[in-house]
């Protein structure tokens, strides 16, 4: 009975789980590019290692090693891969670090000093990044594991006291190796928990698209890693800025990502586009009013001729008044995605009236317009763009003087079909496409763009496969967004669960 109750609760929870409107998959094909950029960043971070001065005494010899600085990282073997429950694992083996430090030696009244180059060899680093969803829906590095070791140190001592340094080198290099071992993991921990999180902070979570509408890219759950990819589920929902707490229920098909040939795949369901159109509808922006000279001349003449009888009967005095043509969407448009293409269905009211100065409007006709638009999606950089094209167009009226021209019993306005459609194609569609071409940003960090995109239509969702391109280096983006460094340079080495093998 208890087992049945637990199963029922699990099914109930699954039934109420929110479906994603947007999914992103990063495949193993992207790891080589990410590794190259990551290793450059790692080398720059290791150069920030601060090693305390090493001083001591052997008999009458006093020595002091100071100003130790990491100059370069030389790699022999490195690997970056996905690891379930850890997300990302970087393994470096048999690397070497180039070092430079200042030496000082005092023997009785004799002093020797200068700078010298050294190398740390047999460097092994194994560090993992665990990614999770924080309370705001943002992806964060929630944990950094680290193991680091330096097998041996070598310093090319020279000068007057070369023999002495060779005698002391065992003490000096062993001490430096110990200190270096203690400093690698704290640097990597800070790089992951602070610096990489500042990079992830550049990913939009809940941000405005324009003055009317915003978009919510909150993660719905922690990222899921498999040996070949990393999957992320985003809410992918638009909302009117004036109703920030409003949300459209998601009843669309959940996007499915199966492909792994490209570096990254992004999928958008019908809900993603429906929420955008309903948000603009609720914001009151899906309307257009043309008055006077704004109405195309040929259409103005046709409308006046068509409604001449109505004008004479209603109010002959306003016959020369400016004409007004108003289109107002009466219900939120809806998107349909099929393998054959993407269409958007729109129903709008069309009102034709005369606007005499300082007098009430004289309405000539009120019609219903049904339109079918085709939509072509493209991805440029980080922007999802849409190109619309008017495919089908019909108008109906309950008040028209042309009811006698109805087809099959329907009151279809045949004489106005062509000019109104031309007006939409020439005057309205370019304005819509100009706005749509600005695009909506995809949830990617700053400095990373999509290239070589391929768009695929499926039943209920579209999938875009692409490769990644670093338009900016990690260092450049992180420096721009770097938080204030509150680290204590004298703080102990690595917090758990980091380990430094000596």
Are 132 and 212 members of one domain? no
Q: 363 in helix, strand or coil?
A: strand
Are 98 and 52 members of one domain? yes
In the predicted model, residues of the chain with pLDDT beneath 50 are 1-15, 400-412, 486-502
**Position 403 in a domain:** no
Q: What is the pLDDT of residue 51?
A: 79
**Position 7 in a domain:** no
Tokens of 54: 């090493």
DSSP 437-502: TT-EE-S--TTEEEEEEEEEE-SSEEEEEEEEEESS-HHHHHHHHPPP----TTS-S--TT-EEE-
User: Which residue's structure tokens are 């028209």?
Assistant: 400
- In terms of Cα–Cα distance, which of 446, 350, 444, 355 is closest to 399? 350
Tokens of 462: 């579209």
Angle between helices 31-46 and 162-190 (to 10 degrees): 130
**Position 261 in a domain:** yes
**Position 435 in a domain:** yes
Which domain CATH number covers 102?
3.15.10.10
- Regarding beta strands 139-155 and 499-501, do their DSSP bridges make them parallel or antiparallel, or are they unpaired? parallel
Whether residue 452 contacts residue 466, with contact meaning beta carbons closer than 8 Å, is answered with yes
**Position 457 in a domain:** yes
Are 181 and 210 members of one domain? no
Q: What is the pLDDT of residue 236?
A: 92
Q: What is the pLDDT of residue 25?
A: 94
Whether residue 118 contacts residue 99, with contact meaning beta carbons closer than 8 Å, is answered with yes
> Among 165, 186, 201, which residue terminates a domain?
201
Whether residue 360 contacts residue 371, with contact meaning beta carbons closer than 8 Å, is answered with no
**Position 501 in a domain:** no
User: Which residue's structure tokens are 């009967």?
Assistant: 313
Q: What is the pLDDT of residue 462?
A: 94
d(CA 127, CA 6): 38
> Among 184, 201, 218, which residue terminates a domain?
201
Taken in order 284, 288, 289, 294, the sign of the CA dihedral is positive
DSSP H/E element including 182 = helix 162-190
Are 247 and 180 members of one domain? no
Task: List, as own/partner pairs, every contact residues 416-423 make where C-beta atoms lie below 8 angstroms and the sequence separation is at least 24, other chains included.
Answer: 416/302, 416/303, 416/306, 416/367, 417/393, 419/296, 419/298, 419/299, 419/302, 420/299, 420/350, 420/369, 420/393, 420/395, 421/390, 421/393, 422/296, 422/299, 423/296, 423/299, 423/325
Alpha carbons within 13 angstroms on the beta-carbon side of residue 432 total 20
Are 62 and 75 members of one domain? yes
Structural domains counted in the chain: 2
Angle between helices 414-423 and 297-306 (to 10 degrees): 160
Torsion angle of alpha carbons 84, 90, 93, 95, nearest 10°?
Answer: 180
Are 256 and 165 members of one domain? no
Are 129 and 216 members of one domain? no
Are 42 and 164 members of one domain? yes
Q: What is the pLDDT of residue 430?
A: 84
Whether residue 344 contacts residue 334, with contact meaning beta carbons closer than 8 Å, is answered with yes
Are 171 and 244 members of one domain? no
317: left (phi > 0), else alpha (psi -120 to 50), else beta? alpha
- Regarding beta strands 461-470 and 448-457, do their DSSP bridges make them parallel or antiparallel, or are they unpaired? antiparallel
Are 176 and 231 members of one domain? no
> Among 201, 227, 254, which residue terminates a domain?
201
Which domain CATH number covers 424?
3.15.20.10
Are 304 and 391 members of one domain? yes
**Position 283 in a domain:** yes
Give the total residue count for the chain. Answer: 502
- Regarding beta strands 383-397 and 224-225, do their DSSP bridges make them parallel or antiparallel, or are they unpaired? unpaired
Q: Give the domain extent around 309.
A: 206-397+414-470
**Position 141 in a domain:** yes
d(CA 3, CA 13): 15
DSSP H/E element including 435 = helix 429-436
Q: What is the pLDDT of residue 483?
A: 65
Are 161 and 223 members of one domain? no
d(CA 23, CA 88): 19
Q: What is the pLDDT of residue 403?
A: 40
d(CA 86, CA 303): 68
């Amino acid at each position: 009975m208890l087992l049945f109750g637990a199963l029922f609760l699990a099914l109930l929870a699954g039934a109420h789980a929110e479906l994603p409107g947007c999914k992103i998959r990063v495949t193993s094909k992207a790891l080589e590019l990410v590794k190259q950029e990551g290793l450059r960043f790692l080398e720059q971070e290791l150069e920030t290692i601060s090693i305390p001065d090493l001083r001591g005494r052997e008999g009458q010899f006093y020595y002091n090693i100071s100003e130790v600085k990491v100059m370069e990282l030389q790699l022999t073997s490195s690997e970056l891969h996905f690891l379930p429950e850890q997300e990302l694992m970087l393994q470096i083996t048999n690397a070497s670090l180039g070092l430079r430090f200042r030496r000082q030696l005092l023997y009785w009244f004799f002093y020797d000093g200068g700078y010298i180059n050294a190398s740390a060899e047999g460097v092994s680093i194994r560090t993992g990044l665990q990614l999770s969803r924080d309370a705001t829906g943002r992806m964060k590095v929630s944990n950094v594991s680290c193991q680091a070791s330096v097998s041996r140190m070598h310093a090319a001592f020279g000068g007057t006291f070369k023999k002495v340094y060779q005698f002391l080198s065992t003490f000096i290099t062993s001490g430096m190796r110990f200190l270096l071992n203690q400093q690698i993991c704290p640097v990597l921990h800070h790089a992951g928990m602070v610096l990489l999180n500042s990079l992830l902070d550049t990913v939009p979570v809940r941000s405005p698209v324009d003055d009317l509408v915003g978009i919510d890219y909150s993660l719905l759950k922690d990222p899921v890693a498999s040996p070949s990819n990393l999957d992320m589920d985003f809410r992918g929902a638009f909302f009117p800025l004036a109703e920030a707490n409003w949300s459209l229920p998601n009843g669309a098909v959940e996007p499915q990502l199966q492909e792994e040939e490209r570096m990254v795949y992004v999928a958008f369901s019908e809900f993603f586009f429906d929420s955008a159109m309903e948000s603009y509808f609720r914001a009151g922006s899906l309307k257009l009013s043309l008055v006077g000279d704004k109405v195309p001349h040929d259409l103005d003449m046709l409308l006046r001729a068509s409604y001449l009888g109505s004008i004479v009967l209603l109010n002959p005095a306003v016959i020369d008044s400016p004409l007004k043509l108003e289109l107002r969407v009466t219900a939120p448009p809806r998107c349909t995605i099929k393998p054959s293409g993407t269409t958007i269905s729109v129903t709008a009211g069309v009102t034709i009236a005369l606007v005499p100065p300082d007098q009430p409007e004289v309405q000539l006709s009120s019609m219903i317009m049904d339109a079918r638009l085709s939509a072509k999606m493209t991805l440029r950089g980080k922007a999802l763009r849409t190109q619309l094209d008017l495919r089908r167009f019909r108008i109906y009226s309950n008040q028209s003087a042309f009811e006698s021209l109805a087809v099959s019993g329907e009151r279809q306005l045949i004489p106005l079909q062509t000019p109104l459609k031309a007006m939409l194609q020439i005057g309205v569609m370019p304005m819509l496409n100009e706005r749509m071409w600005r695009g909506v940003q995809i949830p990617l960090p700053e400095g990373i763009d999509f290239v070589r995109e391929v768009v695929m239509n499926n039943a209920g969702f579209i999938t875009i496969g692409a490769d990644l391109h670093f338009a900016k280096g990690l260092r450049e983006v992180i420096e721009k967004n770097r938080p204030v460094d509150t680290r204590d340079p004298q703080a102990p080495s690595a917090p758990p669960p980091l380990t430094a093998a000596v």
